[in-house]
Protein backbone atom coordinates (compact mmCIF):
# COMPACT_ATOMS: atom_id res chain seq x y z
CA UNK A 1 0.00 0.00 0.00
CA UNK A 2 2.85 2.35 0.85
CA UNK A 3 4.46 1.58 -2.50
CA UNK A 4 1.20 2.31 -4.27
CA UNK A 5 0.85 5.67 -2.54
CA UNK A 6 4.42 6.64 -3.41
CA UNK A 7 3.82 5.62 -6.99
CA UNK A 8 0.59 7.63 -7.15
CA UNK A 9 2.27 10.67 -5.59
CA UNK A 10 5.00 10.50 -8.20
CA UNK A 11 2.53 10.65 -11.06
CA UNK A 12 0.47 13.38 -9.44
CA UNK A 13 3.66 15.40 -9.04
CA UNK A 14 4.46 14.87 -12.73
CA UNK A 15 1.01 16.14 -13.70
CA UNK A 16 1.41 19.12 -11.39
CA UNK A 17 4.76 20.09 -12.90
CA UNK A 18 3.24 19.76 -16.35
CA UNK A 19 0.32 21.95 -15.34
CA UNK A 20 2.64 24.57 -13.80
CA UNK A 21 4.78 24.65 -16.94
CA UNK A 22 1.67 25.38 -18.98
CA UNK A 23 0.56 28.08 -16.53
CA UNK A 24 4.02 29.66 -16.68
CA UNK A 25 3.58 29.86 -20.48
CA UNK A 26 7.06 28.47 -21.15
CA UNK A 27 5.86 27.03 -24.45
CA UNK A 28 2.88 27.88 -26.61
CA UNK A 29 -0.32 26.05 -25.66
CA UNK A 30 -0.40 24.70 -29.21
CA UNK A 31 2.80 22.77 -28.51
CA UNK A 32 2.13 21.85 -24.91
CA UNK A 33 -1.55 21.68 -24.03
CA UNK A 34 -2.81 21.68 -20.49
CA UNK A 35 -3.26 18.23 -18.86
CA UNK A 36 -6.87 19.19 -18.34
CA UNK A 37 -7.48 19.65 -22.07
CA UNK A 38 -5.84 16.28 -22.72
CA UNK A 39 -8.21 14.82 -20.18
CA UNK A 40 -11.11 16.56 -21.91
CA UNK A 41 -10.05 15.03 -25.21
CA UNK A 42 -9.78 11.58 -23.66
CA UNK A 43 -13.20 11.98 -22.07
CA UNK A 44 -14.70 13.00 -25.39
CA UNK A 45 -12.94 10.24 -27.35
CA UNK A 46 -14.00 7.61 -24.86
CA UNK A 47 -17.52 9.05 -24.89
CA UNK A 48 -18.01 8.92 -28.66
CA UNK A 49 -16.31 5.54 -28.87
CA UNK A 50 -13.45 6.49 -31.22
CA UNK A 51 -10.81 5.60 -28.68
CA UNK A 52 -12.29 2.22 -27.82
CA UNK A 53 -12.82 1.50 -31.49
CA UNK A 54 -9.23 2.40 -32.35
CA UNK A 55 -7.83 0.40 -29.43
CA UNK A 56 -9.82 -2.64 -30.49
CA UNK A 57 -8.59 -2.37 -34.08
CA UNK A 58 -5.00 -2.06 -32.89
CA UNK A 59 -5.25 -4.89 -30.36
CA UNK A 60 -6.86 -7.19 -32.90
CA UNK A 61 -3.99 -6.61 -35.33
CA UNK A 62 -1.42 -6.97 -32.63
CA UNK A 63 -2.82 -10.17 -31.16
CA UNK A 64 -3.29 -11.86 -34.53
CA UNK A 65 0.28 -11.16 -35.59
CA UNK A 66 1.69 -11.93 -32.18
CA UNK A 67 -0.04 -15.28 -31.83
CA UNK A 68 1.03 -16.34 -35.32
CA UNK A 69 4.57 -15.16 -34.60
CA UNK A 70 4.78 -17.24 -31.44
CA UNK A 71 3.05 -20.27 -32.94
CA UNK A 72 5.61 -20.27 -35.74
CA UNK A 73 8.59 -19.08 -33.73
CA UNK A 74 8.46 -21.72 -30.99
CA UNK A 75 8.72 -24.80 -33.21
CA UNK A 76 11.24 -23.10 -35.49
CA UNK A 77 13.38 -22.23 -32.47
CA UNK A 78 13.23 -25.86 -31.35
CA UNK A 79 14.35 -26.91 -34.83
CA UNK A 80 17.33 -24.55 -34.89
CA UNK A 81 18.38 -25.77 -31.45
CA UNK A 82 18.00 -29.42 -32.39
CA UNK A 83 19.38 -29.68 -35.91
CA UNK A 84 22.74 -28.33 -37.05
CA UNK A 85 21.32 -27.82 -40.52
CA UNK A 86 18.52 -25.57 -39.24
CA UNK A 87 20.96 -23.71 -37.01
CA UNK A 88 23.23 -22.91 -39.95
CA UNK A 89 20.38 -21.79 -42.20
CA UNK A 90 17.28 -20.59 -40.38
CA UNK A 91 19.26 -19.72 -37.25
CA UNK A 92 21.56 -17.35 -39.11
CA UNK A 93 18.60 -15.83 -40.96
CA UNK A 94 16.76 -15.23 -37.69
CA UNK A 95 19.81 -13.67 -36.09
CA UNK A 96 20.24 -11.35 -39.05
CA UNK A 97 16.62 -10.32 -39.39
CA UNK A 98 16.25 -9.79 -35.65
CA UNK A 99 18.72 -6.94 -35.87
CA UNK A 100 16.55 -5.29 -38.52
CA UNK A 101 14.17 -2.79 -36.86
CA UNK A 102 10.75 -4.08 -37.75
CA UNK A 103 9.63 -0.68 -39.09
CA UNK A 104 11.94 -1.44 -41.99
CA UNK A 105 9.43 -4.08 -43.11
CA UNK A 106 6.75 -1.45 -43.69
CA UNK A 107 7.80 -0.33 -47.20
CA UNK A 108 8.16 -3.92 -48.33
CA UNK A 109 4.84 -4.92 -46.80
CA UNK A 110 3.13 -2.03 -48.59
CA UNK A 111 4.56 -2.99 -51.96
CA UNK A 112 3.73 -6.65 -51.52
CA UNK A 113 0.31 -6.42 -49.94
CA UNK A 114 -0.84 -2.87 -50.60
CA UNK A 115 -2.71 -0.88 -47.97
CA UNK A 116 -4.37 -3.90 -46.44
CA UNK A 117 -4.71 -5.69 -43.14
CA UNK A 118 -2.35 -8.31 -44.50
CA UNK A 119 0.42 -5.72 -44.66
CA UNK A 120 -0.15 -4.87 -41.00
CA UNK A 121 -0.21 -8.52 -40.03
CA UNK A 122 2.99 -9.12 -41.94
CA UNK A 123 4.81 -6.31 -40.15
CA UNK A 124 3.70 -7.52 -36.72
CA UNK A 125 4.70 -11.11 -37.49
CA UNK A 126 8.12 -9.98 -38.67
CA UNK A 127 8.47 -8.04 -35.43
CA UNK A 128 7.64 -11.05 -33.27
CA UNK A 129 8.90 -14.11 -35.09
CA UNK A 130 12.66 -13.66 -35.07
CA UNK A 131 13.05 -12.77 -31.44
CA UNK A 132 10.84 -15.72 -30.43
CA UNK A 133 12.95 -18.08 -32.57
CA UNK A 134 16.16 -16.78 -31.03
CA UNK A 135 14.85 -16.85 -27.47
CA UNK A 136 13.57 -20.42 -27.86
CA UNK A 137 16.81 -21.55 -29.45
CA UNK A 138 18.78 -19.86 -26.69
CA UNK A 139 16.53 -21.33 -24.01
CA UNK A 140 16.94 -24.88 -25.30
CA UNK A 141 20.71 -24.50 -25.46
CA UNK A 142 20.77 -23.35 -21.87
CA UNK A 143 18.93 -26.38 -20.52
CA UNK A 144 21.39 -28.23 -18.27
CA UNK A 145 22.19 -31.54 -20.06
CA UNK A 146 21.73 -33.34 -16.74
CA UNK A 147 17.94 -32.81 -17.04
CA UNK A 148 17.78 -34.74 -20.28
CA UNK A 149 20.06 -37.45 -18.88
CA UNK A 150 17.95 -37.82 -15.75
CA UNK A 151 14.81 -38.00 -17.88
CA UNK A 152 16.38 -40.68 -20.09
CA UNK A 153 17.13 -42.89 -17.12
CA UNK A 154 13.46 -42.66 -16.19
CA UNK A 155 12.44 -43.87 -19.62
CA UNK A 156 11.73 -40.57 -21.35
CA UNK A 157 12.63 -40.51 -25.04
CA UNK A 158 12.30 -38.33 -28.12
CA UNK A 159 9.21 -36.16 -28.22
CA UNK A 160 8.32 -36.94 -24.61
CA UNK A 161 11.68 -35.48 -23.54
CA UNK A 162 11.14 -32.42 -25.74
CA UNK A 163 7.68 -31.64 -24.43
CA UNK A 164 8.15 -32.65 -20.80
CA UNK A 165 11.74 -31.65 -20.14
CA UNK A 166 13.42 -29.42 -22.71
CA UNK A 167 10.48 -27.12 -23.33
CA UNK A 168 9.53 -26.50 -19.68
CA UNK A 169 13.20 -26.20 -18.74
CA UNK A 170 13.67 -23.40 -21.26
CA UNK A 171 10.53 -21.53 -20.15
CA UNK A 172 12.38 -18.64 -18.48
CA UNK A 173 14.12 -17.86 -21.77
CA UNK A 174 10.99 -18.40 -23.82
CA UNK A 175 8.92 -16.04 -21.67
CA UNK A 176 11.52 -13.29 -21.86
CA UNK A 177 11.64 -13.86 -25.63
CA UNK A 178 7.85 -13.56 -25.80
CA UNK A 179 8.05 -10.34 -23.83
CA UNK A 180 10.64 -8.97 -26.18
CA UNK A 181 8.56 -10.14 -29.14
CA UNK A 182 5.56 -8.31 -27.71
CA UNK A 183 7.56 -5.08 -27.39
CA UNK A 184 8.85 -5.39 -30.95
CA UNK A 185 5.40 -6.19 -32.32
CA UNK A 186 3.83 -3.26 -30.48
CA UNK A 187 6.46 -0.85 -31.78
CA UNK A 188 6.32 -2.03 -35.36
CA UNK A 189 2.52 -1.93 -35.42
CA UNK A 190 2.45 1.64 -34.12
CA UNK A 191 4.95 2.70 -36.77
CA UNK A 192 2.96 0.94 -39.47
CA UNK A 193 -0.29 2.51 -38.34
CA UNK A 194 1.24 5.99 -38.33
CA UNK A 195 2.70 5.64 -41.80
CA UNK A 196 -0.02 3.69 -43.47
CA UNK A 197 -3.68 4.55 -43.59
CA UNK A 198 -5.77 1.47 -44.00
CA UNK A 199 -9.41 2.03 -44.70
CA UNK A 200 -10.57 -1.21 -43.11
CA UNK A 201 -9.81 0.07 -39.64
CA UNK A 202 -8.37 3.10 -37.89
CA UNK A 203 -6.03 2.12 -35.09
CA UNK A 204 -4.35 4.11 -32.36
CA UNK A 205 -1.44 4.93 -34.65
CA UNK A 206 -3.85 6.47 -37.10
CA UNK A 207 -5.42 8.62 -34.37
CA UNK A 208 -1.95 9.83 -33.50
CA UNK A 209 -1.20 10.66 -37.11
CA UNK A 210 -4.56 12.38 -37.53
CA UNK A 211 -3.90 14.46 -34.40
CA UNK A 212 -0.69 15.71 -35.94
CA UNK A 213 -2.41 16.63 -39.19
CA UNK A 214 -4.96 18.67 -37.26
CA UNK A 215 -2.34 20.18 -34.98
CA UNK A 216 -4.48 18.74 -32.16
CA UNK A 217 -1.77 18.35 -29.55
CA UNK A 218 -4.26 17.27 -26.88
CA UNK A 219 -5.20 14.33 -29.11
CA UNK A 220 -1.56 13.44 -29.81
CA UNK A 221 -0.66 13.38 -26.14
CA UNK A 222 -3.91 11.68 -25.16
CA UNK A 223 -3.35 8.83 -27.64
CA UNK A 224 0.26 8.51 -26.52
CA UNK A 225 -0.97 8.11 -22.96
CA UNK A 226 -3.39 5.38 -24.07
CA UNK A 227 -0.58 3.56 -25.87
CA UNK A 228 1.60 3.72 -22.76
CA UNK A 229 -1.24 2.46 -20.55
CA UNK A 230 -1.98 -0.49 -22.85
CA UNK A 231 1.70 -1.42 -22.81
CA UNK A 232 1.78 -1.23 -19.01
CA UNK A 233 -1.39 -3.28 -18.68
CA UNK A 234 -0.05 -5.99 -20.98
CA UNK A 235 3.02 -6.20 -18.82
CA UNK A 236 1.16 -6.26 -15.51
CA UNK A 237 -1.66 -8.58 -16.57
CA UNK A 238 0.04 -11.00 -18.93
CA UNK A 239 3.78 -11.09 -18.37
CA UNK A 240 4.20 -10.21 -14.71
CA UNK A 241 2.21 -13.24 -13.46
CA UNK A 242 4.17 -15.56 -15.78
CA UNK A 243 7.43 -14.15 -14.52
CA UNK A 244 6.31 -14.38 -10.91
CA UNK A 245 5.48 -18.03 -11.43
CA UNK A 246 8.89 -18.69 -12.99
CA UNK A 247 10.71 -16.80 -10.26
CA UNK A 248 8.88 -18.77 -7.59
CA UNK A 249 9.61 -22.09 -9.21
CA UNK A 250 13.19 -21.42 -10.23
CA UNK A 251 13.94 -19.60 -7.01
CA UNK A 252 15.21 -16.49 -8.75
CA UNK A 253 12.80 -14.09 -7.04
CA UNK A 254 14.17 -11.20 -5.07
CA UNK A 255 13.47 -11.61 -1.37
CA UNK B 1 -4.30 -55.38 -5.35
CA UNK B 2 -1.78 -54.19 -7.87
CA UNK B 3 -0.44 -51.35 -5.74
CA UNK B 4 0.62 -53.85 -3.04
CA UNK B 5 2.33 -55.96 -5.66
CA UNK B 6 4.02 -52.88 -7.00
CA UNK B 7 5.39 -51.91 -3.61
CA UNK B 8 6.21 -55.41 -2.39
CA UNK B 9 7.79 -56.62 -5.57
CA UNK B 10 11.42 -56.05 -4.64
CA UNK B 11 13.78 -58.03 -6.84
CA UNK B 12 17.38 -56.89 -7.03
CA UNK B 13 19.40 -57.66 -10.12
CA UNK B 14 22.77 -59.21 -10.77
CA UNK B 15 25.25 -57.17 -12.75
CA UNK B 16 28.16 -58.46 -14.78
CA UNK B 17 30.67 -56.10 -16.34
CA UNK B 18 32.60 -57.99 -18.98
CA UNK B 19 35.90 -56.59 -20.33
CA UNK B 20 34.56 -53.07 -20.82
CA UNK B 21 36.86 -50.54 -22.50
CA UNK B 22 36.19 -46.91 -23.24
CA UNK B 23 38.31 -44.11 -24.67
CA UNK B 24 37.48 -40.43 -24.95
CA UNK B 25 38.97 -38.03 -27.42
CA UNK B 26 39.36 -34.64 -25.89
CA UNK B 27 40.32 -32.00 -28.42
CA UNK B 28 43.99 -31.14 -28.48
CA UNK B 29 45.16 -33.08 -25.45
CA UNK B 30 44.27 -36.23 -27.32
CA UNK B 31 42.97 -39.43 -25.90
CA UNK B 32 41.88 -40.45 -22.43
CA UNK B 33 41.81 -44.16 -21.78
CA UNK B 34 38.96 -44.11 -19.28
CA UNK B 35 38.44 -47.86 -18.93
CA UNK B 36 40.71 -50.67 -19.97
CA UNK B 37 39.11 -54.12 -20.13
CA UNK B 38 37.38 -53.81 -16.79
CA UNK B 39 35.48 -56.86 -15.54
CA UNK B 40 33.55 -57.18 -12.33
CA UNK B 41 30.42 -58.75 -10.89
CA UNK B 42 27.84 -57.44 -8.51
CA UNK B 43 25.79 -60.07 -6.74
CA UNK B 44 22.05 -59.96 -6.39
CA UNK B 45 21.38 -57.34 -3.75
CA UNK B 46 25.04 -56.38 -3.46
CA UNK B 47 26.31 -53.00 -2.37
CA UNK B 48 29.44 -52.18 -4.33
CA UNK B 49 31.46 -49.01 -3.97
CA UNK B 50 33.86 -47.81 -6.66
CA UNK B 51 36.64 -45.55 -5.44
CA UNK B 52 39.65 -44.03 -7.10
CA UNK B 53 41.22 -40.71 -8.04
CA UNK B 54 39.51 -38.54 -10.62
CA UNK B 55 39.99 -39.75 -14.15
CA UNK B 56 40.03 -43.42 -13.19
CA UNK B 57 36.85 -44.13 -15.13
CA UNK B 58 34.59 -44.98 -12.20
CA UNK B 59 31.88 -42.53 -13.27
CA UNK B 60 32.24 -43.65 -16.87
CA UNK B 61 31.64 -47.22 -15.79
CA UNK B 62 28.56 -46.13 -13.87
CA UNK B 63 27.24 -44.32 -16.95
CA UNK B 64 27.83 -47.41 -19.05
CA UNK B 65 25.91 -49.56 -16.56
CA UNK B 66 23.16 -46.93 -16.66
CA UNK B 67 23.13 -47.17 -20.45
CA UNK B 68 23.85 -43.46 -20.80
CA UNK B 69 27.14 -44.22 -22.53
CA UNK B 70 28.24 -47.06 -24.77
CA UNK B 71 31.46 -48.98 -24.22
CA UNK B 72 33.95 -49.20 -27.11
CA UNK B 73 34.22 -52.91 -26.45
CA UNK B 74 32.93 -55.38 -23.93
CA UNK B 75 29.47 -55.38 -22.45
CA UNK B 76 27.48 -55.11 -19.26
CA UNK B 77 24.84 -57.69 -18.43
CA UNK B 78 21.95 -57.06 -16.08
CA UNK B 79 20.42 -60.38 -15.09
CA UNK B 80 22.13 -61.87 -18.12
CA UNK B 81 20.73 -59.38 -20.60
CA UNK B 82 23.12 -56.96 -22.33
CA UNK B 83 22.51 -53.28 -21.55
CA UNK B 84 22.06 -51.12 -24.61
CA UNK B 85 20.15 -48.11 -23.32
CA UNK B 86 18.88 -46.55 -20.09
CA UNK B 87 16.04 -48.44 -18.46
CA UNK B 88 13.73 -48.21 -15.50
CA UNK B 89 15.35 -51.29 -13.98
CA UNK B 90 18.49 -49.20 -13.38
CA UNK B 91 17.88 -45.77 -11.89
CA UNK B 92 20.61 -43.19 -11.43
CA UNK B 93 21.32 -40.61 -8.75
CA UNK B 94 23.74 -37.93 -9.86
CA UNK B 95 26.02 -35.66 -7.88
CA UNK B 96 23.59 -32.83 -8.58
CA UNK B 97 20.00 -33.60 -7.61
CA UNK B 98 18.97 -32.87 -11.24
CA UNK B 99 15.41 -32.22 -10.08
CA UNK B 100 13.07 -30.40 -12.44
CA UNK B 101 12.36 -26.88 -11.10
CA UNK B 102 9.10 -26.53 -13.05
CA UNK B 103 7.58 -29.41 -11.06
CA UNK B 104 6.99 -29.53 -7.32
CA UNK B 105 8.36 -32.33 -5.14
CA UNK B 106 5.43 -34.61 -5.92
CA UNK B 107 5.67 -33.86 -9.63
CA UNK B 108 9.32 -34.83 -9.65
CA UNK B 109 8.69 -38.16 -7.95
CA UNK B 110 5.77 -38.81 -10.32
CA UNK B 111 7.82 -38.06 -13.45
CA UNK B 112 9.32 -41.53 -13.75
CA UNK B 113 6.15 -43.22 -12.53
CA UNK B 114 4.11 -41.65 -15.31
CA UNK B 115 6.39 -43.31 -17.82
CA UNK B 116 5.93 -46.69 -16.20
CA UNK B 117 3.03 -48.62 -17.66
CA UNK B 118 0.50 -50.47 -15.54
CA UNK B 119 -0.42 -47.89 -12.92
CA UNK B 120 -3.34 -45.49 -12.94
CA UNK B 121 -3.12 -41.92 -11.65
CA UNK B 122 -4.31 -42.78 -8.17
CA UNK B 123 -1.90 -45.69 -7.80
CA UNK B 124 0.99 -43.57 -9.03
CA UNK B 125 0.17 -40.98 -6.40
CA UNK B 126 0.07 -43.65 -3.72
CA UNK B 127 3.43 -45.06 -4.80
CA UNK B 128 4.94 -41.57 -4.82
CA UNK B 129 3.58 -40.92 -1.33
CA UNK B 130 5.12 -44.18 -0.15
CA UNK B 131 8.60 -43.19 -1.31
CA UNK B 132 8.29 -39.62 -0.07
CA UNK B 133 7.49 -41.09 3.34
CA UNK B 134 10.45 -43.44 3.00
CA UNK B 135 12.82 -40.49 2.59
CA UNK B 136 10.96 -38.49 5.23
CA UNK B 137 9.64 -35.72 3.00
CA UNK B 138 5.90 -36.43 2.93
CA UNK B 139 5.22 -33.02 4.47
CA UNK B 140 7.01 -31.31 1.58
CA UNK B 141 5.09 -32.91 -1.27
CA UNK B 142 3.92 -29.54 -2.61
CA UNK B 143 7.13 -27.62 -1.95
CA UNK B 144 8.96 -26.13 -4.89
CA UNK B 145 12.43 -27.47 -5.49
CA UNK B 146 14.40 -24.33 -4.74
CA UNK B 147 12.82 -24.11 -1.27
CA UNK B 148 14.57 -27.33 -0.26
CA UNK B 149 18.01 -27.63 1.29
CA UNK B 150 20.74 -29.56 -0.51
CA UNK B 151 20.12 -32.65 1.59
CA UNK B 152 16.37 -32.53 1.02
CA UNK B 153 16.91 -32.19 -2.70
CA UNK B 154 19.00 -35.34 -2.73
CA UNK B 155 16.29 -37.09 -0.74
CA UNK B 156 13.75 -36.12 -3.39
CA UNK B 157 16.17 -37.35 -6.04
CA UNK B 158 16.43 -40.62 -4.10
CA UNK B 159 12.65 -40.95 -3.88
CA UNK B 160 12.39 -40.21 -7.59
CA UNK B 161 14.99 -42.87 -8.37
CA UNK B 162 13.30 -45.43 -6.13
CA UNK B 163 9.75 -44.74 -7.30
CA UNK B 164 9.75 -46.80 -10.51
CA UNK B 165 11.00 -49.70 -8.35
CA UNK B 166 14.32 -50.34 -10.14
CA UNK B 167 16.36 -53.45 -9.50
CA UNK B 168 19.59 -51.50 -9.54
CA UNK B 169 20.40 -48.13 -8.02
CA UNK B 170 23.40 -46.35 -9.50
CA UNK B 171 24.78 -43.50 -7.43
CA UNK B 172 27.42 -41.11 -8.72
CA UNK B 173 28.86 -39.22 -5.74
CA UNK B 174 25.37 -38.19 -4.67
CA UNK B 175 26.44 -36.81 -1.29
CA UNK B 176 29.62 -35.03 -2.37
CA UNK B 177 28.24 -31.52 -2.08
CA UNK B 178 26.40 -31.95 1.22
CA UNK B 179 27.55 -30.93 4.68
CA UNK B 180 28.91 -33.60 7.05
CA UNK B 181 25.86 -33.86 9.32
CA UNK B 182 23.41 -34.21 6.45
CA UNK B 183 25.69 -36.78 4.88
CA UNK B 184 25.81 -38.90 8.03
CA UNK B 185 22.03 -38.97 8.18
CA UNK B 186 21.89 -40.02 4.53
CA UNK B 187 24.44 -42.80 5.14
CA UNK B 188 22.05 -44.24 7.72
CA UNK B 189 19.06 -43.78 5.41
CA UNK B 190 20.66 -45.34 2.37
CA UNK B 191 21.79 -48.41 4.36
CA UNK B 192 18.29 -48.70 5.69
CA UNK B 193 16.71 -48.41 2.26
CA UNK B 194 19.18 -50.88 0.81
CA UNK B 195 18.21 -53.39 3.50
CA UNK B 196 14.44 -52.90 3.28
CA UNK B 197 13.98 -52.20 -0.43
CA UNK B 198 16.60 -54.79 -1.47
CA UNK B 199 18.33 -52.95 -4.27
CA UNK B 200 21.57 -53.82 -5.98
CA UNK B 201 23.60 -50.65 -5.48
CA UNK B 202 26.68 -49.42 -7.29
CA UNK B 203 28.03 -46.34 -5.56
CA UNK B 204 30.79 -44.17 -6.99
CA UNK B 205 32.76 -41.91 -4.67
CA UNK B 206 36.22 -40.48 -4.15
CA UNK B 207 35.64 -40.50 -0.40
CA UNK B 208 37.28 -43.68 0.88
CA UNK B 209 35.61 -43.52 4.28
CA UNK B 210 32.21 -43.16 2.67
CA UNK B 211 32.96 -46.23 0.55
CA UNK B 212 33.97 -48.27 3.57
CA UNK B 213 30.87 -47.16 5.43
CA UNK B 214 28.42 -48.11 2.71
CA UNK B 215 29.78 -50.94 0.63
CA UNK B 216 29.90 -54.68 1.19
CA UNK B 217 32.73 -54.53 -1.28
CA UNK B 218 34.96 -51.63 -2.27
CA UNK B 219 36.76 -51.74 -5.59
CA UNK B 220 39.74 -49.48 -6.05
CA UNK B 221 40.44 -48.05 -9.51
CA UNK B 222 43.64 -46.51 -10.81
CA UNK B 223 43.72 -44.00 -13.66
CA UNK B 224 45.39 -43.78 -17.12
CA UNK B 225 44.13 -46.26 -18.14
CA UNK B 226 41.24 -46.93 -15.78
CA UNK B 227 41.78 -50.36 -14.25
CA UNK B 228 40.70 -52.28 -11.21
CA UNK B 229 43.55 -52.39 -8.72
CA UNK B 230 42.29 -54.01 -5.61
CA UNK B 231 39.15 -55.23 -3.97
CA UNK B 232 38.27 -54.93 -0.30
CA UNK B 233 35.59 -56.83 1.55
CA UNK B 234 34.03 -54.84 4.37
CA UNK B 235 32.80 -57.24 7.04
CA UNK B 236 31.12 -54.92 9.48
CA UNK B 237 27.74 -54.99 11.15
CA UNK B 238 25.03 -52.72 9.80
CA UNK B 239 23.97 -50.07 10.23
CA UNK B 240 27.49 -48.75 10.21
CA UNK B 241 28.56 -45.48 11.72
CA UNK B 242 31.01 -43.50 9.60
CA UNK B 243 32.89 -42.49 12.79
CA UNK B 244 33.48 -45.97 14.18
CA UNK B 245 37.04 -47.09 14.85
CA UNK B 246 36.73 -50.41 12.97
CA UNK B 247 35.57 -48.56 9.93
CA UNK B 248 38.54 -46.23 10.23
CA UNK B 249 40.95 -49.17 10.01
CA UNK B 250 39.30 -50.30 6.77
CA UNK B 251 39.41 -46.85 5.26
CA UNK B 252 43.06 -46.42 6.29
CA UNK B 253 43.87 -49.65 4.51
CA UNK B 254 42.08 -48.53 1.34
CA UNK B 255 43.63 -45.08 1.54
CA UNK B 256 47.12 -46.56 1.80
CA UNK B 257 46.49 -48.67 -1.29
CA UNK B 258 45.05 -45.67 -3.13
CA UNK B 259 48.11 -43.54 -2.37
CA UNK B 260 50.32 -46.31 -3.63
CA UNK B 261 48.75 -46.05 -7.06
CA UNK B 262 48.50 -42.30 -7.23
CA UNK B 263 51.91 -41.19 -5.98
CA UNK B 264 54.00 -42.46 -8.93
CA UNK B 265 51.66 -40.54 -11.28
CA UNK B 266 52.22 -37.33 -9.38
CA UNK B 267 55.98 -37.81 -9.27
CA UNK B 268 56.15 -38.05 -13.04
ipTM score for this prediction: 0.87
Q: Which CATH class is domain A33-250?
A: mainly alpha
**Helix, strand, or coil (residue B55):** coil
Q: Which of A119, A225, A112, A236 is closest to A182 using CA atoms?
A: A236
The per-residue pLDDT for range A195-241, each reduced to its tens digit, is: 877 777 788 888 888 888 888 888 999 999 999 999 889 888 988 88
Instruction: Calculate how close chain A gets to B169, using CA atoms only, in Å.
Output: 11
From chain A, pick out residues whose CB is under 8 angstroms from the CB of B90: 153
**Helix, strand, or coil (residue B115):** coil
- What is this structure's pTM? 0.82
Per the CB < 8 A criterion, the answer to whether B140 and B176 are in contact is no
Q: How confident is the model at residue B238 (pLDDT cuts 50, 70, 90)?
A: confident
Domain ranges of chain A: 1-32, 33-250
| Domains of chain B and any CATH numbers | 13-89+173-267 (3.40.50.300)
The per-residue pLDDT for range B149-189, each reduced to its tens digit, is: 989 999 999 999 999 989 999 999 999 888 888 889 899 99
Nearest chain B residue to A250 by CA: give it: B101
Q: How many CA atoms lie within 13 A of A170 on its CB side?
A: 26
CA-to-CA dists, residue B51 to A110, B12, B64, B219, B235, angstroms: 70, 22, 16, 6, 18
From chain B, pick out residues whose CB is under 8 angstroms from the CB of A249: 101-102, 144-146
Give percent of chain B above pLDDT 70: 97
Contacts with A4 (C-beta within 8 Å, 6 or more apart), sequence order: none
Q: What one-character DSSP code corresponds to residue A165?
A: I
Q: Which residues 171-200 of A have a C-beta within 8 angstroms of B?
A: 171
Q: Inform me whether the C-beta atom of residue B164 falls under 8 Å from chain A C-beta atoms.
A: yes
Predicted pLDDT at B126: 92
Whether A250 and B94 lie within 8 Å, measured CB to CB: no
Whether B115 and A160 lie within 8 Å, measured CB to CB: yes
Amino acid sequence: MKRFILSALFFIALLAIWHLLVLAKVWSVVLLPDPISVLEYLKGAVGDGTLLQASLVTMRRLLAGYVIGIAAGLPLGLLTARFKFCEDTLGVLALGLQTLPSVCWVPLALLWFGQTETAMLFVVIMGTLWSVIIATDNGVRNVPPIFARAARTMGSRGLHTWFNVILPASLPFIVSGMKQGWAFAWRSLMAAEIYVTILTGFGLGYLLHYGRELNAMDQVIGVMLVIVVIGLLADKIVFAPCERFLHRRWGTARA
Amino acid sequence: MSIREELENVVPAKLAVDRVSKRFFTGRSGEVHALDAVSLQVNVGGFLCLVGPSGCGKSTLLNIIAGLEKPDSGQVLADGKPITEPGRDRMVMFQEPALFPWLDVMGNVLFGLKLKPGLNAEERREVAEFYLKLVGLERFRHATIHQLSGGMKQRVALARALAPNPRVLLMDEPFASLDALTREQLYRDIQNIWATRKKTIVFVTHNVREAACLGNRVILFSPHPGRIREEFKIDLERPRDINSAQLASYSTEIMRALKGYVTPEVAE
